Each structure stands twice: as C-alpha cells, then as structure tokens.
Structure 1
Amino acid sequence: MSMMDTVRAALGTLYTGKCDVIEHQKYLDGSITRYKEATVLTDQPCKLSFGSIPAADNADGGGAALTQVTKLFLPPGVNIKPGSKITVTQNGQTTAYSQSGQPAVYESHTEITLQLFKRWA
C-alpha cells in the first residue's frame, strides 16, 4: 500500500456523512423546454466541516461579524457539476446545499465550499 493510499484510507474514516447530488436537467416536452430534478449520485460518503471567518463589511462600527463557512470533503475522483443541489445527512440532520465555488482538488481528497440551497438558478 502506497503512502497516498494510506492517507486516503485514513481520510475515509472521517467521512461520517452521506450526500446525494441532484442536477437540474433540461428536457423537451413536445416543443417546450422543461426542467426536472435528476439524482446523479446517492449515499456518497462525505464529511461536512463548519468554520467562520470575519465578515468583510464592518461599516456600522460594531464588533466584527462572523460568516459561517461550510465545506464538503469527498474522496478524490468524485465530480459534482456546478449548480448541483447537494443534500447532506450527517449527525442525524439533513440539509440541502449548493456549490458556491470551484472545487479544490487534491490527490487525497476534494473540498467544495457550500452555501445553503435557496432555489434553482
């Protein structure tokens, strides 16, 4: 077993959540273009991580506000298209998110910054 295989196996033990990935796909209904939700990945092991950073705008002169940052950690090779809805179940709670940026792809894992899902764009 290579060193990277060992690292991936160790990271895999941290994936305590599961996620489903849903895409908003176009289809034709006669001559009308419609959209449907299509689940493209189910029960993918993952890990949600929460952090905070100071907000950029402190115009009111009060204390520095904090903004929550949510990251999703996945095994390498898991590709999620931008604009997908990602439903994560971890610690007994299920929440829908959307991808808010390009994934950070590493040899050992993939990180995706998330935001709460509001609606399809």
Structure 2
Amino acid sequence: MVADMVRAAIEKTYTGRMTLYESVNKQNEDTKITEQIKEAVAENLPCRISYKTISTVSEQDGAYKAVQEIKLFCSPDVNVTEGTTLVITQNGATNTYEKSGKPAVYGSHQEIILSLVEDWS
C-alpha cells in the first residue's frame, strides 16, 4: 500500500528517542500519603524534533526575543495526552518538553507542537 510506504519513509527520518511521563497518584510507603508523581508510561519511542525560528519576536522583561517553534514528529499510534512530559534525546542532546498544542494526526505520522521545560525533576 502507498500509505505503508509513506509511513516507512517518514519513520526513516526519526533520529531521536523519547520517553513519555504522565502524572499518577502513588501512595508513599513511609508516610502513607498519596502523592502525585511523574511515571514513565512509554520508553525509547522513535521520533524526530524539528526546530523553526519564527520571525516574530516577543517582548520579555523589556528585551525582545526570537520565538522558536519546536515540533515533534512521531508515529500516529503514540498517545501523547495533556500534561505529558516528554524527555527526548536527538543528536546527542537530551531535553525535556511538554505538549503545548493539539496533535495533527495523519495516517503516516503525527505532529505535535512542544514547549521546552526549563526545570523539571
């Protein structure tokens, strides 16, 4: 099928790997208090990050800053829900992102706009 060939061709461009973390409620064994923690729900999934600098600038703290769009390309079978944290390694660099847009899902892939998480633990 043509759709399978297109999907296979796109998947050859996936040079990154991602792990998805979602918030879950877990009881702390010591305190017996239920806490919300981030837990890996999928690991080592193939993907690709694309960066695009948008010519529009935004004013932040009195200084102008170029805006960068970060787009994730991955299998349409991957479910990235609201609140998911994504740790992605591509080209030797590992960064943490969160989903900031509704996915555009196609038969061959999906595209999701991400935002960089500055501090995540």
TM-score range, shorter chain: 0.7 to 0.9
- Structure 1 window deviating more from structure 2 (109-118 vs 27-36): it is 27-36
Corresponding residue for residue 10 of structure 2: 11
Q: TM-score, normalised on structure 2?
A: 0.83
- Structure 1 window deviating more from structure 2 (29-38 vs 82-91): it is 29-38
Matched, 1:38 2:39: yes
Corresponding residue for residue 61 of structure 1: none
Find the residue that maps to 2:78 and give its secondary structure: coil
Corresponding residue for residue 26 of structure 2: 27
Q: Any idea what the Cα deviations from partners look like across 1:35-89, whole Å, max 9, x if unmatched?
A: 112100100000000002233657xxxxx85310000000121111111110000
Q: 2:115 & 2:82 partners in 1: Cα distance?
A: 12
Specify whether residues 57 and 93 from structure 1 end up closer, same or farther in structure 2 by C-alpha distance, changes over 3 A only: closer
Query: For the Cα contact (< 8 Å) 1:27–1:33, is it kept in 2?
Result: yes
Which one has the bigger strand percentage? 2
Number of matched pairs: 115
Q: 2:42 & 2:80 partners in 1: Cα distance?
A: 9
Structure 1 segments (4+ residues) deviating >4 Å: 28-31
Matched, 1:48 2:49: yes
Corresponding residue for residue 95 of structure 1: 95
Residue identity opposite 1:111 in structure 2:
E
Query: For the Cα contact (< 8 Å) 1:54–1:65, is it kept in 2?
Result: no
5+ residue gaps, structure 1, are: 59-63
5+ residue gaps, structure 2, are: none
- Structure 1 window deviating more from structure 2 (31-40 vs 97-106): it is 31-40
- Structure 1 window deviating more from structure 2 (6-15 vs 20-29): it is 20-29
Residue identity opposite 2:112 in structure 1:
I
Find the residue that maps to 2:102 and give its secondary structure: coil
Find the residue that maps to 2:79 and give its secondary structure: coil
- Structure 1 window deviating more from structure 2 (81-90 vs 28-37): it is 28-37
Residue identity opposite 1:86 in structure 2:
L
